[in-house]
Amino acid sequence: MRHRLLAVVAAAATLTLASPAYAADTTPPTAPGTPVASDITETGVTLTWEPSTDDIAVANYEVWHIHTDIVQRLGTPTGNTFTVTTLRRGTVNLFYVNAVDTSGNRSRSSALITVTTLPGDLEPPGPVILLAASEITDTSVRLTWQGVIWGDVDVFRVYQGLATGPLALVATIPFNVPRTFVVSGLSPGTQYRLGVSARDAVGNENAPSIITVTTTGAPTPTCTVAYRVTSQWTTGFVAEVRITNTGPTAITSWSLSWLFANGQQITNLWNGAFVQNGGNVTVTNMPYNATISAGGGSQAFGFLGTWSAVNDSPNAFTLNGRPCLVA
């Protein structure tokens, strides 16, 4: 009896060891149905699709977004619906969906669906009205304005620029605070264009209303002129003039003026073109030396002149209408 029991146990063990293991799951889920779009807004859409099936179980889906050749996975929902909230208004977007089972097998992609978000409000507020300047000093100006002719406003934006330069944003003012702002950090005796625009809550901004203001005081020189007589004889002399740009902005063309107080006359000039009317002289750049770089760049020219009795050097120069320091 004992020998028979041992034989049965051994046979059972042999059968257990010989049992085959289950094969790994390599079958992917079926492809999801084509997504259907609903609740389309300026920035979002809800997608729904027919569920996939799998021989074991579907773990989740992958929702993919294509816009301007950029493909991005937006989410991995476990159900067959997903809401997108990060789109841009008035844009064309493509979507597709994959299914992934519990073994990590990924299905074929669903068909693409095209969704165009709503354009929304594209009209900016009306022009800013009654823009005025007051409390003008050497370095600051107070701006005030009333509002806009029509439309809703979220913020006002204040801009600043030189008379001939681009405008730069200097402040953003909420619509529900007093409509005034002090533009500071200006240069004395300088003409500026100052503007205020209005922007609504979705980002539509009108063109700024502009006012031109000149600060008080003498302009701060942003150039230096060095005038040097390099040789002189009984009736003639040779001089060199060097212009240095000490300002923060490059000069792209220049015109330098001065007064000869002792009757000197220019007879020949190089690296520039000159006009002389009595003692008043103006020299302008040539095409090859028109630019003077900011922060210390310089250009020079020279000339041959005549004199009699006295040959004093000029004591004042203006560059493009603004005074320069004399080195």
110-141 per-position pLDDT tens digit: 999 999 999 877 789 999 999 999 999 999 99
pLDDT band at 22 (very low <50, low <70, confident <90, very high): low
Q: Among positive and negative, which fits the CA dihedral 53, 55, 59, 64?
A: negative
Which positions ≥6 away from 25 have C-beta within 8 Å?
A: 55, 56, 101, 102, 103, 105
CATH T-level topology, domain 36-116: Immunoglobulin-like (2.60.40)
pLDDT band at 19 (very low <50, low <70, confident <90, very high): very low
Q: Enter the tokens of residue 322.
A: 């603004």
| Cα–Cα separations (whole angstroms), residue 193 to 8, 74, 166 | 104, 46, 9
pLDDT band at 310 (very low <50, low <70, confident <90, very high): very high
pLDDT mean over 285-309:
96
pLDDT at residue 96 tops 80:
yes
- pLDDT in the model for residue 248: 87
pLDDT at residue 16 tops 50:
no
Whether residue 223 contacts residue 324, with contact meaning beta carbons closer than 8 Å, is answered with yes
Whether residue 209 contacts residue 197, with contact meaning beta carbons closer than 8 Å, is answered with yes
| C-alpha of 115 from chain center | 29
CATH of 223-326, one of 1.10.1760.20, 2.60.40.740, 2.60.40.290, 3.20.20.80: 2.60.40.290
- Which of 7-11, 178-182, 219-223 is least confident? 7-11
Per-residue model confidence as pLDDT tens digits over 180-215:
999 999 988 889 999 999 999 888 999 999 999 999
- pLDDT in the model for residue 157: 97
Second CATH level (architecture) for the domain 128-214: Sandwich (2.60)
pLDDT mean over 48-59:
96
- What ranges do the domains of the chain cover? 36-116, 128-214, 223-326
Whether residue 172 contacts residue 203, with contact meaning beta carbons closer than 8 Å, is answered with no
| Of 230, 252, 229, 248, nearest in space to 299 by CA | 252
| Cα–Cα separations (whole angstroms), residue 268 to 132, 238, 256, 278, 301 | 50, 10, 16, 16, 11
